[in-house]
Structure 1
Amino acid sequence: MDDHPDPGPGPGTDLPVVVGVDGSEPSLRAVDWAADEAVLRGAPLRLVYASLWERYEGTSLADDLDKPSEQVRAEDIVDAAARRAHSRRPDVKISTDVLAEEPEYALVRESRSASVLVTGTRGRSGLAEALLGSVSLVVAGHAQCPMIVVRGDRDDQDRTGPPGRVVVGVGEKQAGSAAVRFAFDEARRRGVQVEAVRAWRRSAHESTDHALMAGEPARPHERQAADALDAALQDVPADVASGRRTVEGHTRSVLVDASRDADLLIVGARRRPGHYGLQLGRVAHGVLHHSACPVAIVPEEG
């Protein structure tokens, strides 16, 4: 996330919201989300198309442009995305770029000078919403700024029910979590509450009918989870409503369940200096594939 102390409305940041576009329907939904995010941050919006291939492979954008897919080029893709963003948010400053390189490398580089990076899911079949595309997965494992992968099919502008909430998974690092700070910044911008969730599991040999496990005070693992939430939320801002919840179960399953009625699910991902492999833990990997709402992956040092 950016270094500006005031994340709310007001003077904007020079760091743009960057969104990767490829002409697919998932990427156009990511443009919608990114345009909204730019308004919330008072930031410019940067649309980036990166590919070594000249021909567009898809039907959605080709139909919109009334062209055969083999005639759709990079300029058509970014122009259509820019028009969509402008139509949704006319007050946002928009820039575009076409890069002749692999999208994974281009977007990771873009993340070094972005306030947040946004992508969609990408699939070539009906499994697009169930499985995350390789580009988004690789970028999520290396991005240097918070990255939001737009999942689900809800549109904030079409919401008719009560405001949702931002859910943040609290991990092993308790105090000073970048993911927790990002969650409260996002909730403040959106005018919703934060729910901090910590999963816990008892050891296989333990049983609820054991004398030492009887009653709430005697559940050590649940107490440890509650203590972790207390530590993570010790410096929460007073102007954002928050709740906390401990749930027994696997962390991935608990967070996926919490995503079903959330606006945004946030998890942290460790960035280890000098390590060049995919820096994405099992929990982050799992929720990226299965969350029912957009997922933010926030880099955590150490």
Structure 2
Amino acid sequence: MASGEKSGTGTKVVEIMRLPLVVGVDGSASSLRALDWAVHEAARLALPLKIVHATMEDEDDWEPVCGPENGGGKPCGQDVRQYVIEAAQERARRYDPDLRVNAGLVCGDAVTALLNAGRNAFALVLGARGRGELKDLLLGSVSLIVAARAQCPVIVVRNADLPSVDRYEQVLLGVADAENNSAAVRFAFEVAAARGCALDAVMAWHRPPRTSISKLLDLPRHEDRHGQRTRALLDEALQRSVSAFPSVDVHRTVEEGPARDVLLKHSETTDLLVVGARRGLSRGGLDLGRVNHALLHYSACPVALVPQRN
């Protein structure tokens, strides 16, 4: 996405690059929920939708959630793989016949296929758990690895999430600091502007431990000072995007407590939670961190993890 100004007017406008919204499907119920969410989002953002199904050459021993009968038996081999992608494409077009949908099979493992698709995507949309994941895992390994390595934003749709993307007409932005969240801030503003909804920008803070002298003298904790400093940092982080997207109604929230707990609580009353992730030095790509891990596992709404560009 990009923002610019109309020549001669000085009025800010939002231009969404026509990169596709990519969604990974594998025939599981979780991936179908992700597909439904992606269809709604692509339609409202006026983006093309690209459906990707990765398959190994020898993958012929499973059945999809719903499969066509073939002489009384279940489909297998290439028929099954083709069915998954064709059924997903038909499902998308039933919702919106005018939606530009491209779907295709990719030979190889799911992680590699999705990472490659994300190189030229507005965002990747994934289900929380695929068909091959253990049922006691909160987040599937494919979703977690892709979220950690993708070059574009990754949106994880949890199993409990409904297809509707506008229950609350609000996007939630979790801001860690002013310097390392610029990409996530831009992404959240751009999505909120395209949706025409409000943006709730949240920054958590905690009181520093008392020193021995302050305890001895029973000095005041200066809670207002710490809260004011956090609010100033939040204003700094939002400043450029507030100017670039004047149509977005921004609510600023500064709240004391662990960032994980604060954001999980706010996720219960929002449609999409946007957070940033810095690139680490390891081959793993993004350093998700403990807070982002917790959000991906427990958030009450879809989570968009946006890589911070250095």
Provide the TM-score with structure 2 as the length reference.
0.83
Matches within 5 A, 1:79-118: 79-118=86-125
Change (3 A) 1:175 1:268: closer
* Offset of residue 155 of structure 1: 2.7
SS of the residue 1:112 aligns to:
helix
| Structure 1 range deviating more: 200-209 or 231-240 | 200-209
Counterparts of 1:136-151 in structure 2, within 5 Å, are 136-151=143-158
| Offset of residue 55 of structure 1 | 2.7
How far apart in 1 are the matches of 2:175 and 2:46?
Answer: 28
1:178-236 deviation per Cα after TM superposition (whole angstroms, max 9, x unaligned): 1111111111122210001111111243799953225x53x42x223212111111121
* Structure 2: distance between partners of 1:175 and 1:269: 8
Amino acid at match of 1:68: K
1:51 and 1:300 map into 2 onto residues whose CA distance is 30
Structure 2 gap segments, 5+ residues each: 6-11
Residue 11 of structure 1, CA deviation: 8.1
Secondary structure of residue in 2 paired with 1:73:
helix
Aligned 8 A contact 1:165 1:193 in 2: yes
Q: Which moved more, 1:77-86 or 1:250-259?
A: 250-259
Tell me how far apart the structure 1 counterparts of residues 28 and 49 of structure 2 sit (CA, whole Å). Answer: 19
User: In the alignment, what sits opposite 2:26?
Assistant: 22
- Counterpart position of 1:243: 251
Unaligned runs of 5+ in 1: none
Q: RMSD of the TM alignment (CA)? A: 3.0
Q: Percent identity?
A: 40
Q: In the TM superposition, what are the counterparts of 1:167-178 in structure 2 within 5 Å?
A: 167-174=172-179, 177-178=182-183
| Residue of structure 2 equivalent to 1:232 | 237
- Larger Rg computed on CA atoms: 2
| Correspondences of 1:1-302 after superposition (within 5 Å) | 2-3=1-2, 5=4, 13-52=17-56, 53-55=58-60, 57=62, 60-62=65-67, 68=74, 70=76, 73-122=80-129, 124=133, 127=136, 131-151=138-158, 152-156=160-164, 163-174=168-179, 177-205=182-210, 210-213=218-221, 217=224, 219-220=225-226, 222-235=227-240, 236=242, 237-272=245-280, 275-279=282-286, 280-302=288-310
- Amino acid corresponding to residue 204 of structure 2 in structure 1: A
After TM superposition, the score normalised by the length of structure 1 is 0.85
Could you list the structure 1 runs, at least 4 aligned residues long, displaced by more than 3 angstroms after superposition: 2-6, 8-14, 56-59, 62-67, 69-72, 123-128, 173-176, 204-211
Aligned partner of residue 98 in structure 2, secondary structure: coil
Pick closer, same or farther for the CA change 1:39–1:4 going to 2, 3 Å. Answer: farther
